[in-house]
Amino acid sequence: MSKSRRQERAEEKRIKKIEAKECEYNLIKKPTNVLFNAILTVLSFFSLIPFVFVIIISLTDEESLAMNGYRFIPKKWSLHAYQYIVEAGESIIRSYGVTIFVTVVGTLLGLFLIGTYAYALSRKTYAFKSFFTKVITIPMLFSGGMIANYLIITKVLMLKDSVWALILPLAMNSFNVIVMRTFFKTSIPDSVVESAKIDGASEWRLFFQIVIPMALPGLATIGLFLTLGYWNDWFNAMMYIDNQDWIPLQYLLIKIESSIDFLANNKAMMGVEGIQAAANMPKETIKMAIVVISTLPIIFAYPFFQRYFVNGLTIGAVKE
């Protein structure tokens, strides 16, 4: 065997030893791993306790709650709070439909607008990259204010009492654009883009067939932010919606809670029937029931994003 060959083998062995030591340093020892898992399990359990407690309170009888206070095991269970909400019947179902439509359409539209804008800013060859970066940064520093927004939505765009008044204001967000731009810059190699262009791919085909599959963690993170924003939004409905057919769930639940508070605080003005009606209303438990109704759907939606969410949160943190 030649001397050079022996030197190559020796060098390979040395490199393997170094890699083995690095792997050993990076591994967490089994007792430490068990301890970390136990700590995280306990913390996860404690993070669930408040929501479980809210569910229990919503299922507690109103009189029992007033007499015995908040308990994990109530003296008397009741579905009165949920029955009171269900009595709204058609309006609840309609508001659920409006919220689901706005959330789905708004999230898809927001992902398209944010994704295309951020991808353009991430490309070094884009001539107007600097200009549009400044444009998207301005709303993070200055805001036109509520009056300007209201006038644009109602007088310029003519979206008063339109479902688009619930969708468009939240579809574009400067922070989300900056996050996606960083993801594209750190996770989409220029060589991949150049290879696709050499093979004759158009910009749209390159974006949808190559860039989007590689950007799923970032898109899932932004998608979750958009979904939460649309699902929990009630302010835009209060500002722009008078038509009862387009009231989203959150705003309807707020109106129900406000009506109950009004009746409870003004029962003396409504005579004997008003006093009896106010006495039978679940004033405290219905607030918890509203939290449960508005939160459960988004909790069930989170597992669909969880696969990519952690990777999306570390966008640009490490680049090899």
What is d(CA 128, CA 130) in angstroms, rounded to the nearest whole number? 6
Structure-model confidence comparison of residues 87 and 109, the more confident one? 109
CATH topology of domain 87-313: MetI-like fold (1.10.3720)
Q: What is the sign of the dihedral through the CA atoms of 288, 289, 295 and 301?
A: positive
How many CB atoms are closer than 10 A to CB 222?
Answer: 26
How many CB atoms are closer than 10 A to CB 249?
Answer: 28
Buried b (16+ CB within 10 A) or exposed e, 118-147: bbbbbbeeeeeeeeeeeebeeeeeeeeeee
Each residue's pLDDT tens digit, 89-132: 677 788 888 999 999 999 999 999 999 999 989 888 888 888 88
Averaged over 210-218, what is the pLDDT? Answer: 85
The DSSP letter of residue 28 is: P
Arithmetic mean of pLDDT over the chain? 80
- In this prediction, what percent of the chain has a pLDDT beyond 70? 78
The DSSP letter of residue 29 is: P
If we measure between CA atoms, which residue out of 303, 301, 241, 251 comes closest to residue 107? 301
The answer to whether 230 touches 59, Cβ cutoff 8 Å, is: no
**Of the ranges 20-29, 37-46, 210-219, 255-264, which one carries the lowest mean pLDDT score?**
20-29
Structure-model confidence comparison of residues 163 and 188, the more confident one? 163
- Written as six digits, the tokens of 105 are 């359409």
If we measure between CA atoms, which residue out of 183, 133, 135 comes closest to residue 311? 183
Of 82-86, 109-113, 224-228, 284-288, the range with the highest mean pLDDT is: 109-113
